[in-house]
Chain A
Amino acid sequence: MSDHSKSSPLPTYFAVFFALLVGTGLTVFAATLDLGRFNAAVALTIASIKATLVALFFMHVKGASEKLTKLVVIAALFFLLLLLGLTMTDYVTRPWS
């Protein structure tokens, strides 16, 4: 994590920073459009892209020396999705019961 290649990481940091701000603006803008059911999906997709950028570049997951870091991140996401997804199997199918 502390051993960066010869080139400076600063351009990457600033690029990600601007991308995050643009993403925020895009989220607000998209919220003002009527996309029907897709408003939520668009908002969450943009949010996920932003989160991924922060994780990969600011938290240095990209280029992490070990696969273990990525495994921890994936595991956390997996269990979160498990919590949300399996709970929803109940709520989504209740009208049929």
Chain B
Amino acid sequence: MPQPAIAPPTIAQTAERENYLNAKYGVWSWLLTTDHKRIALLYLLSITFFFFIGGFFALLIRLELLTPAGDLVQADTYNKLFTMHGMVMVFFFLIPSIPAVLGNFLVPLMIGAKDLAFPRINLLSWYLYIIGGVMMLHCMLTGGVDTGWTFYAPFSTNYSNTNVVEAGLAIFVAGFSSILTGLNFVVTIHRMRAPGMTWSRLPLFIWAHYATSIVQLLGTPVLAVTLVLVAAERALHLGIFDPKLGGDPLLFQHLFWFYSHPAVYIMILPALGVESEIIACFSRKRIFGYSFVAFSSIAIAVFGFLVWAHHMFVAGTSVYSALVFSFLSYAVAVPSAIKVFNWTATLYKGSIHYDAPMLYAFGFLGLFTIGGLTGLFLAAIGIDVHVTDTYFVVAHFHYIMVGGAVMGYLGGMHFWWPKISGKLYPEGWARLAALIVFIGFNLTFFPQFLLGYMGMPRRYYDYSHMPEFQILNVLSTAGATVLGVGYLLPMLYFLWSMRYGKPAPDNPWNAAGLEWKTPSPPPTFNFDEEPVVTWEAYNYDELDSPDKDAPRGEEVPVAR
């Protein structure tokens, strides 16, 4: 058992050191906590719960699509399935995921602060998320919604007979959770960095979360007010989006996508940050082109606001504005590509270690690249006209959101699990799970590119007029089952590790970053003395000079 690093002098000589997990016991000490680390765990439980719900809907969708006929559920039910799969996964899993769990846990630690700037607002964020989640659950249990997660008018405002307003309000409330998290991060990163922690020494995880927060802050309010308009229109038949009353359905789409496109950057930017951390650690090198990668996060955040109408190429907007948005959509790919190039350059001549987090990072690298490139296909109006509303689009965004964001999330969870829980997860099982996830993912979603390209429309529960698509659909469903197993495994062994896992040293990976200078798990107030930073980020050459062993080695004394 490795010796823990310098124990805080005032902690009594108890068998177990005091940390944020055992500092206080009792349900209320968790439900009324203002400790960012505990709030992160509250989020972890909540979003995992919603992940199961969204996954359940995905399972039903894939089961229906095993056969060309619509024989599992009715058409209306199928509409509800894909709608609620989308709403739950986007608003109650992906948008919070990395920021609310890993961001909340790590941002103060990484910058050397005791907590976020506004701990009580952090707790409020979680409660808003829960309230929105309960409303969404109620909405689902009382008939669901069938508008698609995109709520398009006038179907959502005039014709749908489902719980549109309730779903909209649930997302409205959850949106404020997102806004407040973003607010907390921006103020924290500006104001609470430890002495010596200049912007150019910040981990790229922090840059990524800063960029994410900008998007959350400036985009979500537009969605909020749009949902208010939808609710008002539905209740009072105002005519704002109703063509029969002089309204423009496209205005809804403009306002909706103004948020919802940047929203996808909320979902991927944090994962891009995680990727930088993992690649640096497991190639034992500073990220190549640190400044470029840092600024590319900001560029993605800003450019992400310029491209929304590429979701509307066939909706009836003017061709000229479509040209403008198409061009801008190409531009937004550039900062993402810069990241991929820089990660690749980091790997070159790095000392690569294939621990589980790195396996997820490699998977991310490939899948994010494919997802991003297929985005360029869609940015070309000519191609988009053919593949819009087909499975090509579905495959594209799942490559980024599942192949990218979820794998980034899992990689991050593995990387920081020792810090969060104080325990080591079983590495063998973790590598196996990563492999299963990768295989399952590709089996699920690659066929969907082919399906879309060949013309299978999305959101159809019955494709009996195109029975030749069945084989690819069967492959996709099979892949989904494998993927499900891959997701289940980490949940099981993380839980197992909390009880039976080996205690983790402070820095099992010998990684760079202030969070690794605290005990695993950290004490409630993170640092006994405010750290003073005098070194650059990713100082792996310094960290590795005393011992050139594998970063995983428990025998490696913690570098301080």
Contacts and interface: CB of A to CB of B under 8 A. Distances in A.
Tell me, yes or no, whether A and B come into direct contact in the complex with CB atoms closer than 8 A.
yes
A89 B305 contact: no
A87 B317 CA distance: 10
A94 B254 CA distance: 14
A36 B466 CA distance: 59
A93 interface: yes
Contacts of A15: none
A87 B320 contact: no
A90 B250 contact: yes
A82 interface: yes
Given A68-B190, A83-B222, A96-B320, A90 B309 contact: yes
A82 B222 contact: no
Interface string A55-97: 0000000000000100000011001001100110111111011
Given A82-B305, A86-B309, A89-B324, A94 B218 contact: no
A42 to B, nearest CB: 27
Contacts of A86: 306, 308-309, 321, 324-325
A70 B214 CA distance: 16
A94 B305 contact: no
B319 interface: yes
A44 to B, nearest CB: 21
A82 B318 contact: no
Given A79-B305, A82-B306, A86-B306, A96 B218 contact: no
Nearest to B254: A87
B258 interface: yes
Nearest to B307: A86
A43 B190 CA distance: 37
Nearest to A79: B218
A75 B319 contact: no
Contact of A90 (B218, B222, B306, B317): B317
A97 B190 contact: no
A58 B309 CA distance: 38
Nearest to B248: A91
B217 to A, nearest CB: 9
B305 A90 contact: no
Given A86-B309, A90-B250, A75 B218 contact: yes
Contact of B319 (A68, A92, A97): A97
A89 B319 CA distance: 10
A96 B318 contact: yes
Nearest to A66: B190
A93 B320 contact: yes
Contacts of B254: 87, 90
Contacts of B190: 68
A97 B218 contact: no
Contacts of B324: 86, 89
B318 A90 contact: yes
A97 B320 contact: yes
A83 B305 CA distance: 8
A90 B325 CA distance: 10
Given A76-B218, A89-B324, A97 B318 contact: yes
A89 B412 CA distance: 41
A94 B317 contact: yes
B304 to A, nearest CB: 11
Contacts of B325: 86
- Interface centre among A89, A90, A91, by most B CB within 10 Å? A90
Contacts of A68: 190
Contacts of A76: 218
Interface of B: 190, 214, 218, 222, 250, 254, 258, 305-306, 308-309, 317-321, 324-325
Which 6 residue pairs across A and B have the least CB separation, nearest first?
Answer: A90-B321, A93-B318, A93-B320, A89-B321, A94-B318, A97-B318
Given A87-B254, A90-B250, A92-B318, 13 more contacts: A68-B190, A76-B218, A82-B306, A83-B222, A86-B308, A87-B258, A89-B321, A89-B324, A93-B318, A93-B321, A96-B318, A96-B320, A97-B319
